[in-house]
Copies of this chain bind each other. A is one copy, B any other.
Amino acid sequence: MPLTELDTPTLVLDLDAMERNIQRMAQFAAAHGVQWRPHAKLHKSARIAQRLVAAGASGCCVQKVAEAQAMAAGGVRDIYISNQVLAPQKLQRVAALARQLQQQGGRLALAVDSAQGVAGLAQALQGAGVPQAVEVFIEIDIGQHRAGVGPGAPAVALAQNIVRQRQLRLAGLHAYHGGAQHIEDGSQRAAAMQAAYALVRQTLEQLHAAGFTDLAVTGAGTGTFALEAASGLYTELQPGSFLCMDAHYARVQPVPQSPLPGPTHFEHALFIKTQVLSSCATHAVVDAGHKSHAIDSGLPMVWNQGQPPLYEFRNGGDEHGIVAPRVLHGALHAPVPALGQALWLVPGHCDPTVNLHDAFVGIRGGLEQGVVQEIIPIDARGALW
């Protein structure tokens, strides 16, 4: 099917661009000798997770037990739930999934940040028939002040707690700074991460001193992954957004005088195709609103083949977007889009945008001349539990 026939609004994945992004990340991970377990909370698709594994990723990260179940159902064998799980009904599902994955030669790992979380997980695993101990990573707070135990002594105390549970194996530290990923200024982002690495280093030293060795460190997002890799501390990178590159990451600048790649190392691969439904002298109204794309990290960018946008996107509510020509030197940059015209939007934030849709329309050959290649189910859309 040619793209001109695609109904709107539709979530479109440029498979050619995505594959180039995957190759770039695979080459980076290989060159820096770090393991790579990209986050599936972005794409929520077992098929895409499998393609990342085929390109060298060890498995995938997820945030929710239900996401882990969806990835396992689609054949992914190495899954890390990079989040706390406390509810007994969830922990029962965790135990069943750990057994299933281990029996298939795979593994399930989890993050913990409390003694209560450790005890609950150990209890759920008791008698659940899981062959080997389940890996846990201690989440430490390295600057975001969201979840995580404090660096240093609190992490050591939790490690001592973990190793008393024979159902668990201390795998290492989870040290992710979500807030730093989107600091647009390169120097400020690097500074935030240097402060974070000091906390990771200090915690590792205290853990080593307490006799805990062979610890992995997992973390990193698309905004900072190269800094984590260069830190010498991290053994595993988790970034997911590099796959699609949202409009906000395009504004995250490289670190000055650094040879390391940043988010702009990658291409935009995720788009919303939309259509003009109404048009007047000043603006057009398109059929994509925030039921089609997330707006938490800013509004979408109207795609202009990689050139500076001709149009500004304004919030038109749940079901509409307002598209107006940008003004340059007092003149309109372009005519108001005509009734029926198709436009392509780059979402401000990919993760919650993907979560609004049931499938990616995978295309090849570019947005102008391309064709629909495959429909990729978003298996874990709405998998909140």
Contacts and interface: CB of A to CB of B under 8 A. Distances in A.
A290 B290 CA distance: 12
Interface stretch (A52-60, A85-93, A121-129, A302-310): A85-93
A180 interface: no
Contact of A318 (B85, B287, B352, B385): B352
A223 interface: no
Contact of A147 (B85, B278, B355): B278
A114 interface: yes
Interface in A136-153: 145-148
A317 B351 CA distance: 10
A287 B358 CA distance: 22
Give the one of A63, A117, A279 with max B CB within 10 A: A63
Contacts of A85: 277
B277 A84 contact: yes
If over half of A's interface residues share one DSSP class (helix, strand or loop), that class is named, otherwise mixed; here it is loop
Contacts of A351: 291, 318
Contacts of A315: 296
Interface string A273-315: 0011111000101010011101110000000000000000001
A366 B5 CA distance: 49
A351 B285 CA distance: 20
A257 interface: no
B147 A292 contact: no
B319 A63 contact: yes
A60 B285 CA distance: 24
A187 interface: no
A262 interface: no
8 contacts: A10-B385, A146-B285, A146-B317, A146-B320, A296-B318, A356-B356, A356-B382, A381-B382
Interface of A: 5, 7-10, 41, 63-64, 83-87, 89-90, 113-114, 116-117, 145-148, 178, 275-279, 283, 285, 287, 290-292, 294-296, 315-320, 322, 339-340, 351-352, 355-358, 381-382, 384-385
